[in-house]
Structure 1
């Protein structure tokens, strides 16, 4: 049986990502090779549990017809590493049609134009219970800042989203993104907003239901990584997938490896 060390930690990883979580430091006693820097992973047998992952957010999550989506790149990174996953949510494809590539699990819970309060209301309506995710990839705040919502109110709504997800699955893991920047003037307060998220994670994270912060903000250049100053292009989506994947690996290794 593997041993686990439960603690709070905030560490910087490649690509500018920070993880803040009370949990999941694996004590590698029996499989030292799994703790190396090699990006490959042993293919999991059919007996390994399937992780239900919900990409949750706004148009950054949903993407648009004819565009790329981080979900495509992330799906293939995770599957190529040998993990068994299922993207879940009431939405499929992209806004207005299909993304550039469709050879991946296109289920998600991204809603273009929605704020955190609208996502909260939608989940209260039963969407979270239907999907019952094990892991949630949460990227919100982009529309809130441009639609008259203040930072404290948006932080509170994200906190309540986490509470609601836990009512459905008390052991849900939330990967909370520090939102990507844009060239739009209404996002001038984005640095102040994303700076609040590690404190939220520290407050909300538990050993049973960790909250991890992934830095999607720093190192993302909207002048070259978006197609309109806001929505990621292929380069931006690929970078987002890399950072999501770095966080997911620790969760998948600790919770969804095949057990003897």
Structure 2
């Protein structure tokens, strides 16, 4: 069968578009524990080991990696949605809609609430309500989004509200999980083994040991979510209508 040059150009464009679309868009959402710490490149290394780093596109309005994290792994995608000092309450009301409408993530991973407790002095229900708004808004942009919610890492003083939020997360996840948009819990809490020795001197942010712990808890959940997203609706070249390209 013969192809014209114009047909070949359209075929190439279709293949390129399908390849770009087939990447799983992943939003890593959080506060400074996402933005200025070093677990993101450690997770990337896990994705590379699983053969998935070329299949994922980290998305977000922010990009970068702290110099303290050293040289990033090959191909590391620095895009994220971590914002130091921000609260889940404010993100839910003011920011999440714009972020997810512009990116339409296939996978949403988030750890939020520490600043709601320490700065906003919010109670457990207010934080859970913010989670629900974030979830509902993200599903409005992509009804099939796969969600990983992290239990919060502890503070060195074992804040009771943080511990209560962590206790409430599994029931919240179970209540809101659906077959199209499942919610998985990554347990980064003290109960799962996060210790004060994994915190920086400020008693809030993870040190290298803490980054390793978060990556160990979050990475496998992200890998499973990527594979689920790929199995659901990832397009390929065969799905692109190229019948009009033949001559």
Q: Please, what TM-score do these two structures have when normalized by structure 1?
A: 0.74
Shift of 1:242: 1.4
Q: Is the CA contact (8 Å cut-off) linking 2:194 and 2:210 kept in structure 1? A: yes
Q: 1:204 aligns with which of 162, 176, 183?
A: 176
What is the aligned partner in structure 2 of residue 245 from structure 1?
219
User: Is 1:85 aligned to residue 56 of structure 2?
Assistant: yes
Q: Which runs of 5+ in 1 are unaligned?
A: 1-45
Shift of 1:176: 0.5
What is the aligned partner in structure 1 of residue 121 from structure 2?
148
Residue 119 to residue 79, structure 1, CA distance change in 2 (3 Å): same
Aligned length: 208
Q: Is the CA contact (8 Å cut-off) linking 2:146 and 2:229 kept in structure 1? A: no
Q: Which has the higher helix share?
A: 2
User: What pairs with 1:34-73 in structure 2 (closer than 5 Å)?
Assistant: 49-63=22-36, 68-73=37-42
Q: 1:178 aligns with which of 145, 151, 161?
A: 151
Name the SS for the 1:180 alignment partner: coil
Q: Which runs of 5+ in 2 are unaligned?
A: 1-18, 239-247
Shift of 1:99: 4.2
CA distance in 1, matches of 2:107, 2:129: 20
What is the aligned partner in structure 2 of residue 135 from structure 1?
107
The structure having more radius of gyration, on CA atoms, is 2
- Cα deviation, 1:64-93, whole Å, max 9, x if unaligned, reads xxxx41111001110221011111100111
CA distance in 2, matches of 1:124, 1:165: 8
What is the aligned partner in structure 2 of residue 256 from structure 1?
230
Q: Which has the higher strand share?
A: 1
User: Is 1:216 aligned to residue 185 of structure 2?
Assistant: no
Q: Which moved more, 1:196-205 or 1:244-253?
A: 244-253
What root-mean-square deviation, in Å, do the aligned CA atoms of Structure 1 and Structure 2 show?
2.2
User: Is 1:101 aligned to residue 71 of structure 2?
Assistant: yes
